[in-house]
Structure 1
Amino acid sequence: MKISERVEYATKPEPMTCDINDKVIDVVLRMADKNYGSIIAVDKDSHILGMLTERDVMKRLVAQKRDPAKTMVGDIMTKNVRTAKENDELVDWLRIMSNERFRRLPIIDDDNKLVAIMTQGDFVSYTWPELLVQMKTLAKATFGDSLSLPRILAGVLIYSVVIIVAVGWIS
């Protein structure tokens, strides 16, 4: 499934942006007012220069005892921001975000301009229903049409009994 095919993508509000020369205090107050966990620093053409997250504020401002009224966004933002295109595969990005431990993914157009921000939360609603469909498809491919609910339950029951007996035998 493509990122653009998610309902969440079509209903995303316009991303909150700022300038790298904005004071952190002003940007954080805007983020707090909208309950946003991040803001994207862009140039005048909407090209991404960086992202300021709650974690950036904690690690690079609060922990370093910097003054938010004097510190600029560009001084503490994450500069190398991973970005995706709307036609990228959603599952690929979910895996990358999980492995690399980041939660927000700016989406850019063919001119590298910011168009949306997707979060891991936007992707999670996709995973469970789709995983169940994929498991059913794989099970049918593996076992054919002979797979049925009673056979699955019988298999689980037999497996459970074997494990219980094995654990009892070992101890």
Structure 2
Amino acid sequence: MRIMDRPEYASKPKPLTMTADVTVAEAVAAMSERDYGSVIIVDGGEKVVGMVTERDIMKRLVNKQRDAEKTKLADIMTRDVRVAKETDDLQDWLRMMSNERFRRLPIVDDGGKLVSIMTQGDFVSYTWPELLDRVSEQTKATVSNNYQVFLIAGGILLYSILLIFMLRS
């Protein structure tokens, strides 16, 4: 399944974007106003150059006792942000996000311009129902395709039980 095929993809609000020269105080105010957990740092062409999350603010600003009014987003942003295209496979990105431990995935067009953002929370709504369906389908396929194995295993189990009862008598 492609990222763009998720129902919530079409209704996602536009990501909060700012340039690297904006102060952390301005970004925090905008994030708080919109109840967003991150701001995507873009250049003049709307291409992703970084990201600042609540965690970045906590670790790189608050913990270092920096002044939010004077510190620029460039000073605390995560650089080399992974980005996806809306035609990319959703499961591949979910696996990468889990393995590489990041929770926000900016989505860009073919020109690299930011168009949306998906979070692990968006993917969770996909994973559980889909996972249960796949396990159910795989179980049915495995059992129906390998019923001989189950018959043999069942026969051995039944023989063992009967043998135990006969030895006790």
Bucket of the pairwise TM-score, normalised by the shorter protein: 0.7 to 0.9
Q: Equivalent pairs: percent with the same residue? A: 57
Where does structure 1 differ by over 2 angstroms across 4 or more consecutive aligned residues? Answer: none
TM-superposed deviation, 1:140: 2.1
Q: 5+ unaligned residues in a row in structure 2: which ranges?
A: 158-169
Partner of 2:125: 125
Map of 1:113 onto structure 2: 113
Partner residue in 2 for 1:24: 24
For 1:80 and 1:132, the matched residues in 2 are separated by 34
Counterpart in 2 of 1:164? none
1:13 maps to amino acid: P
The 2-side partners of 1:46 and 1:124 are apart by 28
Per-residue CA deviations over 1:18-47 (Å, capped at 9, x if unaligned) read 010001101111001111000001011100
Q: Matches of residues 6-155 of structure 1 in structure 2 within 5 Å?
A: 6-144=6-144
SS at match of 1:97: helix
Q: Which has the larger radius of gyration?
A: 2
Residue type of the partner of 2:94? L
Shift of 1:134: 1.0
Question: How high is the TM-score relative to the length of structure 2?
Answer: 0.84
Aligned residues: 150
Q: Which runs of 5+ in 1 are unaligned?
A: 159-171
Q: TM-score, normalised by structure 1?
A: 0.83
Partners of 1:105 and 1:15 in 2: how far apart? 11
